Every structure is written in structure tokens, then in C-alpha cells.
Amino acid sequence: MERRAKRSVTPRSSSPQAREAEALERRRGRLLIGGAIVASMIMLVVWFPASALLHQRSAIAAAAQQVSHLRSEDAQLAQQSNQLTTPGAIAQLAQSQYQLVEPGQRLVQVLPATAKPTTTASGEAPYPGDPGYAKVMAPSAVALLPGESTNTVKSMGAPGETLLHRVLSTLEFWKR
């Protein structure tokens, strides 16, 4: 009864047309809210599985491509394994890829010929200072090279010089 009392407190329209219009508005509001709820549920049900399905399809396609690549590699390796069953094929592979030879054999590698560089207009080699283009010296001309002469002998030192002084003077090249 209390509920009826509370409902009766709200004022009702007295005309039947006003009541019908009010009922029509309530139905429209309920229909609009219900439609929004149904539309959002449909979007949730369709969107989440659809995005997961798209991700799974792309992952499956990538995995299938990787599997096909691995199968082709496996077929190539099986073919190479079948080819290497004879000792001649194994020896050829060992020689060509790893430069191995059988006992008693020699491996000779012929290098391509290098072109001798031409001289410039001034008559100099293209790489100045290259010892390969220097003229051959006679053995007697070694003494004419810059630096210390090879035929001089250093004295052992003064009579009052200690061993430490002689060692330090011997290690003078460190100072240079």
C-alpha cells in the first residue's frame, strides 16, 4: 500500500490523450535506450572476436610462410646430403670450400696477375715511398743509409761509470 501511495502522489494528467502521449514518450525512451544497449553489445561481440581473428590469421600466414621456407631448406639439404655419398664428391667439396687435400698431395693456388702500375708524367711511381719501386742497392752502400753506422762499436763506458748508468744509457732508445 505504501507503494501505491507513493505512486498516487505523482500528478496524473486528466485527459486520455495526454496519458497516451506520455506513454508513447516512455516507450520511445525505453526503445532508444534498449536499442543503444543492443547496438553496443553487438559492437562488442563482433569487434573483439573480429580483431582477434584478424591477428590470428596474420600470425597463421606468417607461420605458414616460415614453414614453407624451412621445408625448402630441408629439401635442399637432403639433396646435398644425397650428393655427398661418394668419396669423390666429398673430396671435391673439401678441396673447393676448405682447401683440404689428401695426404701426399699439394695444394697450389694460382693468384691472378697484378698489373704493374704505370709511372706518372714526372717519371715517379704512383705510390711515392713504396720500397717495391726503389732501385736495388749494392751491399757496400748499406753504410750510406741514414741512421747509426753498423760498424762502430760503443765503448763500455768510463771507468767511474756504474752498472746503472750503463744500463740507462743502453736503454736510451726509449726516450726517442
Q: What is the DSSP string of 85-143?
A: TSHHHHHHHHHHHH----TT-----PPPPPPPPPP-TTS--SSTT-GGGSPPPPGGGGG
pLDDT confidence of residue 1: 46
Q: Grid coordinates in use for 87?
A: 668419396
What span, in angstroms and rounded, lies between the C-alpha atoms of 112 and 96? 17
Q: Per the domain annotation, does 77 fall within a domain?
A: yes
Quick check: 114 and 122 in contact, CB under 8 A?
A: no
Q: Per the domain annotation, does 149 fall within a domain?
A: no
> What would the pLDDT profile of 2-37 be if each residue is shown by its tens digit?
555 455 445 555 688 888 889 999 999 999 999 999
Q: Per the domain annotation, does 42 fall within a domain?
A: yes
Nearest residue to 90 (alpha-carbon basis) of 103, 102, 76: 102
Residue 26, domain extent: 18-98
Please identify which residue in the block is written with the cell numbers 559492437: 43
Q: Per the domain annotation, does 12 fall within a domain?
A: no
Q: Per the domain annotation, does 29 fall within a domain?
A: yes
Q: Taking the CA atoms of 138, 139, 144 and 146 in sequence, report the sign of the dihedral they define.
A: positive
Nearest residue to 44 (alpha-carbon basis) of 54, 32, 33, 52: 52
Compute the average pLDDT of residues 41-54.
81
What span, in angstroms and rounded, lies between the C-alpha atoms of 84 and 77? 11
Q: Per the domain annotation, does 58 fall within a domain?
A: yes
What span, in angstroms and rounded, lies between the C-alpha atoms of 28 and 52? 36
pLDDT confidence of residue 125: 55
Q: Per the domain annotation, does 39 fall within a domain?
A: yes
Q: Per the domain annotation, does 23 fall within a domain?
A: yes
> What would the pLDDT profile of 101-154 be if each residue is shown by its tens digit?
888 888 887 766 565 555 555 655 555 556 666 666 666 655 555 555 444 445
According to the per-residue pLDDT averaged within each range, which of 49-58, 64-73, 118-127, 129-138 is highest?
A: 64-73
Domain count, the chain: 1
Report CA 166 to chain centroid distance, whole Å: 58
